[in-house]
Structure 1
Amino acid sequence: MKILHATDTYAPTVGGIEVLVHDLAAHQAAAGHDVTVLTRTPGPTGVDSNGVMVVRDARAMRALVAEADMVHAHVSAISPLALRAAEIAAAQRVPAVATVHSMWAAAWPLFRAAALARGWDQLSIQWTAVSEAAADPVRRVLGGRPVLILPNAVDTDLWAAAHAADSTPSGQERGPVTIVSVMRVARRKRPLRLLAVLRRVRAALPSDVEVRVVLVGDGPQLGRLQARISDWGMQGWVEAPGALEHHQIRALYERADVFVAPATLESFGIAALEARASGLAVVARAGTGVADFVADGVEGLLARTDAEMVGQLALLCTDAAARARIQRHNATVRPAYDWSDVLWRTTYAYDAAAELTAGTSRSAQQAPLKTDRPRSAA
């Protein structure tokens, strides 16, 4: 199959969409598909090391769509190239999937106006979203049209290795409780609010409870974050080293206990999924995409407010039994969103798009997770 991924942002830019599209394209190429990525992001063009053709000239869009068997548009808050590719595909009767990777939430009336103006709810495009939280406003935008859940994925085998050699959850009877966060250090991810939460956590803890915090990531607010750590006198227990490579993050997770995701507009949360697959307890905001793979009290804790997050982090720092119970569960029970699951769900979405284009009007009901189907004895 000739697959065209259309995304306004791509490597070398680093972010959730960029990582997902890169890895999905690589997995599809490895499976024998002819895969092309069309993007507006400047960078190297041509066939990459995974066998994926990368085109960075939007003027090639119509020709690439016409040659494709499937167009997969990756949509964020502002995605003119991706949305236009899906529209052109529908006009040319090329099957198209549009995946929404962001939270349209409060802005959904604006997107509804755009949908009415552009006729999105009438075009033969199979809409998907990366989580239930992201899908709900898309359904409103499309007037109740079916929206499938097409989540992000991680290599759970790779991340599970962080605790493979240690059956005892990390952090028990060995040094400080270590809290980590991995994010793009930008306003939307709320890194400065997280620092304020952590300051309140430290104030709420007994003086004999040791805590270490590592805030990983780069972005426009990194300088302000580092300056505020110093201004608030937190440098003795909080560090913000900037971006780290995956192998460095996995090494950090071997010594960590809790992962915290403070964003309120988190459509999925790849970093949180990686941490959960590594055996860490996850603390995140309720109503976000993290809730698709973190049940409150099972894989972690979900906070409705920052004040509630303060209490949850303080609890996990002081209650070793509660922390160990969550860590033990996460270290032994794999999350469903491995690539084998998500590739199957992607194929389901592609089939739904093809049938929609062919006019068969199949009811686009939500595909079950692979874990809902019989597993092999592997």
Structure 2
Amino acid sequence: MKILHVTDTYAPTVGGIEVLVHGLAARQAAAGHQVTVLTRTAGLTGRDTNGVRVVRDVHARRTLASESDTVHSHVSAISPLALRTAEFAATQEIPVVATVHSMWTGTWPLYRATATVRGWTDLPIQWAAVSEAASDPLRRALAGRSVLVLPNAVDTALWAPASAHPAADGTRTAHGSPGLAAETAPALVPREGGKGGPVTIVSVMRMTGRKRPLPLVSALRRMRAGLPADVDVRAVLVGDGHQLGEVRRRISRWGMQDWVEAPGALEHHEIRALYERADVFAAPATLESFGIAALEARAAGLAVVARAGTGVADFVSDGVEGLLAGSDAQMATQLGQLCTDHALRTRIKRYNAAVAPAYDWSDVLWRTAYAYEAAAQLAAGAHHTVVQGALDLARSRRDRYPAIAAREIEGDPA
């Protein structure tokens, strides 16, 4: 199959869409597809180390779309290239999947007006969103059109905790489901904070306003003020961005530098090493459509504290894989609870170490294959309603992907 991924932003820019498109395209290429990425982000062109062709000439969009069997557009808040290419391909009866990677929560009426003007609800486009939280405003914007949930993915084996040793009769269980009692998890034993070291809280994010690193610093300050003096806590805030300087200034101004550090950006292997010594992951963003960093931490066995109503809730159930907060104040309370409640922290960590989340590439690749089939049916004029439950029909496609998903994709996207 000739697959064209269209994304307005791509490497060398770093973000959720860029990581997802790179990983998906590379694994599709490894499965034998001819894969091209079209973007308007400047950078290297040609085939990358994974065999994916990268084109950065926006004027080539119609030619590339016409040569493709499927067009997969990746949409954020503002994505003119992705949307215009999707519109063009749909008018040419080329199967199109348009995945929305952002939260349209407060702006869906604007997108609904745009959809009416641009005719999105009349075009044979299979729409998708990366989480349940992101899908609801998209459905509103599209006046009830079918929307699939097509989540992001991580290599769960790559992120699995090396320090988690199975019991004599236990192995790491694949694909946990929300609501499964943590007590049912196999007895894996991760490193536990408070025994020979501090309880370590980690957050990995872009240091930008949308990700809310400054409210997290405030929440940590509030948390520390409510903890007994003898509770040993460490926090590491990883990431780069224009707010990093202010994060560091507030840590210093509030006298938190003895237990909070902001080292800047780290490589993946450095983050995995940090997770081996950590206990809790904090995700403070309120407009998080999915949360790849939180999923990586969940796969690494950390207890996750995140804001409720975000995409993180798709793989973190309150009290099972972590805790979900309705406010910054509640997040501070929950972080403190995990620092002091050894039994709760250990139970969540053991469950997360024992049960892999259902967001491995071997899961998401067959979901994507199904979305492409649904798009092909729409392009052929079969305007039936496609529902999430029908994904079961494509489960047989999973068999071709596990070996591909297990290999670590080489290098960064071109």
Name the TM-score, length of structure 2 as normaliser: 0.88
Deviation (angstroms), 1:367: 4.2
RMSD: 1.6
Q: 1:357 aligns with which of 379, 384, 393?
A: 379
Tell me if 1:169 matches 2:201.
no
The answer (yes or no) to whether the contact 2:161–2:190 under 8 Å persists in 1 is: no
Distance 1:108 1:360 in 2: 27
Instruction: Determine the structure 1 residue equivalent to 2:334.
Output: 312
Matched, 1:200 2:222: yes
Letter in 2 for 1:60: A
Could you say what secondary structure the match of 1:220 adopts?
Answer: coil
Equivalent AA in structure 2 for residue 226 of structure 1: R
Q: What percent identity do the matched residue pairs reach?
A: 72
Deviation at 1:174, TM superposition (A): 2.1
Q: Does 1:123 align with 2:123?
A: yes
Per the alignment, residue 261 of structure 2 pairs with 239
1:142-165 Cα deviation digits (max 9, x unpaired):
000110000000000010144335
Contact 1:163 1:331 in 2 (8 A): no
- Contact kept? 1:179, 1:213, Cα under 8 Å: yes
Q: Which residue of 1 aligns with 2:369?
A: 347
> In the TM superposition, what is the alpha-carbon distance from 1:86 to its structure 2 partner?
0.4
Q: 1:278 aligns with which of 277, 282, 300?
A: 300
Alpha-carbon deviations, 1:79-131, whole Å to 9, x = none? 00000110010011110000000000001111111101101111000000000
Tell me if the contact between 1:345 and 1:367 (Cα under 8 Å) persists in the aligned partners.
no
In 2, are the aligned partners of 1:281 and 1:330 still within 8 Å (CA)? yes
Conserved in 2, the CA contact under 8 Å of 1:336 and 1:369? no
Unaligned runs of 5+ in 1: none
The correspondence of residues 53-202 of structure 1 with structure 2, limited to 5 A, is 53-165=53-165, 167-170=188-191, 171-202=193-224
Call closer, same or farther: CA 1:82–1:101 in 2, change over 3 Å: same
Offset at residue 369 of structure 1 (A) = 7.1
Hey, what's the Cα distance between the residues in 1 that align with 2:390 and 2:381? 23
2:324 alignment partner, SS class: strand
Q: Is 1:7 the counterpart of 2:7 in the alignment? A: yes
CA positional deviation for 1:173: 1.1
- List, as ranges, runs of 4+ consecutive aligned residues in structure 1 with deviation greater than 4 Å: 367-370, 372-376
Q: Retained in 2: the 8 A contact 1:148–1:366? A: yes
d(CA) in 2 for partners of 1:26 and 1:309? 37
Secondary structure at the residue paired with 1:322?
helix
1:130 corresponds to which letter in structure 2? V
**Does the 8 A contact of 1:152 with 1:268 survive in 2?**
yes
Match of 1:265 in 2: 287
Q: Indicate if the aligned counterparts of 1:162 and 1:251 stay in contact, CA closer than 8 A.
A: no
Deviation at 1:318, TM superposition (A): 0.3
Q: Equivalent residue for 2:35? A: 35
Q: Structure 2: which amino acid aligns with 1:301?
A: L
* Aligned partners of 2:194 and 2:232 also within 8 Å: no
Alpha carbons 2:198, 2:233 under 8 Å: kept: yes
**Which of 253, 273, 279 lines up with 1:251 in the alignment?**
273
Q: 1:62 is matched by which residue type in structure 2?
A: R
TM-superposed CA distance for 1:253, in Å, is: 0.2
Q: Give the 3 Å change call, closer, same or farther, for CA 249–165 of structure 1 in structure 2.
A: farther
Alignment of 1:16 with 2:16, yes or no, is yes
* Cα distance in 2, alignment partners of residues 264 and 278 from structure 1: 23
| Aligned counterparts of 2:196 and 2:165: Cα–Cα separation in 1 | 16
Contact residue 37 and residue 54 of structure 2 kept, 8 A: yes
**What amino acid maps onto 2:190 in structure 1?**
P
Of residues 227-236 and 335-344 in structure 1, the stretch that sits farther from structure 2 once superposed is: 227-236
- Amino acid corresponding to residue 299 of structure 2 in structure 1: A
Q: Which shows bigger deviation, 356-365 or 89-98?
A: 356-365
Aligned mates of 2:390, 2:42 — CA distance in 1: 38
Q: Aligned with 1:104: secondary structure?
A: coil
SS in 2 for 1:126: strand
Distance (Å, rounded) in 2 between the aligned partners of 1:9 and 1:162:
34
Q: Distance in 2 between matches of 1:230 and 1:165?
A: 39
* 3-state SS of paired residue (1:128): strand
Asked whether the equivalents of residues 8 and 79 of structure 1 are also in contact (C-alpha less than 8 Å), the reply is: yes
Post-superposition offset of 1:211: 0.5
Moved more, 221-230 or 48-57: 221-230
Shift of 1:307: 1.0
- 2:370, 2:391 within 8 Å by CA — same for their partners in 1? no
Deviation at 1:361, TM superposition (A): 2.1
Task: Give the TM-score normalised by structure 1.
Answer: 0.97
Question: Cα gap change, 1:162/1:226 in structure 2, threshold over 3 Å: closer, same or farther?
Answer: farther
